[in-house]
Structure 1
């Protein structure tokens, strides 16, 4: 190997190291997003259960206005839609792992130069990182819709409570 080839190999190994670090960061980001989504599914299930239980008791113990019933039903529906989006984003495709053992075995069987293998690894990691970035972006976009419906449901629940309290005291 010439000095220029050694320098190029050294540079490519450094690039590969940075790309591997970026891949690890994307994997942590994916796990973080998944953990947050899982938590939101649990929180929403608890909110939905509590609201349904309490509000059914409230509504059955009084003669509520039709407007209150509509607010109640819509708030629960918005929570269900929110749960749907969170579940959809949680089960939205799996993170791409690289390098796969089959790829490594193929590279070893080819008896390619170290420099060729490093370049192939750079391309492999780059493609995988791009795919995973798109995956995470799709997950977060779907989860954002879930958060929007959660906020709308919370607002309707709050309006329901205000209207119910006004009806009680007026």
Structure 2
């Protein structure tokens, strides 16, 4: 497994994060297996959307960097939105050149640990996955998440890309396992 350096994203990261997120979600390159290029067109996020999201009090975005040739390279990000009894995981991606190396699993585990440190009273993690992304749903199931009965319409008006096929969002959840 690769050694990652984690930190919270800040306004100075917006430009790099927009490139990372759009590349990971919308471009099929390298080792990429998580892109949505064949089912959604257009950018996943823009700088204004990311700045607004980062400014929300109940949200934090973690980034992971890899030191390569004495320079830090942004390789992954994951967002946590703190709700009343749950923490929603989103904006989760790994740069395609760094996929299939265990970084996603490390990043998800880091986010789950940090969520417990920040907000220990919540009861479950939740996320939304495009219902046709069966390989991604299976990945999250291997990480302990389960599909719920909640299925929502794709948010066409949210400016997160236009679906090329009929899409829905499948909610997945994972109960919090607290020790002690």
TM-score, normalised by the number of residues in structure 1: 0.23
Larger Rg: 1
Higher helix share: 1
- Using the size of structure 2 for normalisation, the TM-score is 0.22
* More strand by percentage: 2
